Structure 1
């Protein structure tokens, strides 16, 4: 009954009031969406930072304590990749928009810029993993195989585990880009367009 009355009020209200109502509904939806994305990125960045520091420390130890030369070289490159990853995550953390913008439109524009940066850095990190991390991992285990520390069957298992892990991380990142970041960027663009009209 209440819903029918609201529909009647909606239909009888002037066009200007409908537009104001539609804008406010879009703004509330966007606020909720932005809060979720900021919460998600906060924890994602935190987990990424912990992982990067852990990887850096572990592979720094490997440089000194692992005997194969190829494994030492790979450990060095992976440690550098971890530091690079950490700097990208810190850039993202610092770029998070503040809720104290001059007005709501400015806040939306800041969030649009943040999401574009987030997408760009995420793509860069995926490229870094494909070009450095995966070859580094394979170089690392190849060093053990060539120094005859591991046999052929263990080497193949390690290659498969590494390939599956890297592919899973790649697919997860593509999923986040496609299902979380880009749809919110599109919603922000739409709302900015509505508010500027």
Structure 2
């Protein structure tokens, strides 16, 4: 009963009031969506940073203690990539939009630019994330393989695990772009159009 009365009141109100209500509803929905998304991104960046903090010293250790030349080269490459990636993560963390901007429209523009940047990096993850790590791991494995320290079964298992991890990471990254970035970008674009009217 109460809901029907509210709908009648809303329908009988002037068009300007209805538009204001729709605009504020869209703003609240977008704010909630962006807040959840920013928490997910913050959590993801933190996990990746911790992984790099662990991986870099491990591969520095391998550079010194692993006797195989190819494994040493791969370890050096992984350390260089890990440092680059850690710096990139800090950069992404800094670029996150804040609510302290001049007005809501500026916040939407910042959020859109941030999402576009993350989407671009997500779309190209095969080149900067997946291939460098897979190729480095394979190069690392070739050290003991060429020295005859691994049997064929172990070699097959390691290659299958490495390639499977890369394929899973690629599919998961594409899924994230499709389900998290693109829908939010569309909603932001719609809200920006409404706000500019």
TM range (shorter): over 0.9
Contact 1:59–1:78 under 8 Å retained in 2: yes
1:75 paired residue number: 75
Count of aligned residue pairs for this structure pair: 197
Matches within 5 A, 1:93-172: 93-172=93-172
CA-based RMSD of the aligned residues comes to: 1.2
Shift of 1:131: 3.0
Shift of 1:121: 2.9
Q: Matches of 1:184 and 1:46 in 2, distance apart?
A: 22
TM-score normalised per structure 1: 0.95
Q: Matches of 2:116 and 2:172 in 1, distance apart?
A: 19
Contact 1:75–1:136 under 8 Å retained in 2: yes
Shift of 1:58: 1.1
Q: Matches of 1:65 and 1:34 in 2, distance apart?
A: 46
Contact 1:126–1:173 under 8 Å retained in 2: no
Q: Secondary structure at the match of 1:183?
A: helix
What 5-or-longer segments of structure 2 have no aligned partner?
Answer: none
Q: Matches of 2:42 and 2:18 in 1, distance apart?
A: 36
Shift of 1:99: 0.9
Q: Matches of 1:68 and 1:127 in 2, distance apart?
A: 27
Q: Secondary structure at the match of 1:99?
A: coil
Q: Deviations over 1:84-140 (max 9, x none)?
A: 111111110110112111111111111111111222233344421233111111111
1:19 paired residue number: 19
What 5-or-longer segments of structure 1 have no aligned partner?
Answer: none
Q: Matches of 2:53 and 2:123 in 1, distance apart?
A: 21
1:31 paired residue number: 31
Q: Matches of 1:119 and 1:65 in 2, distance apart?
A: 39
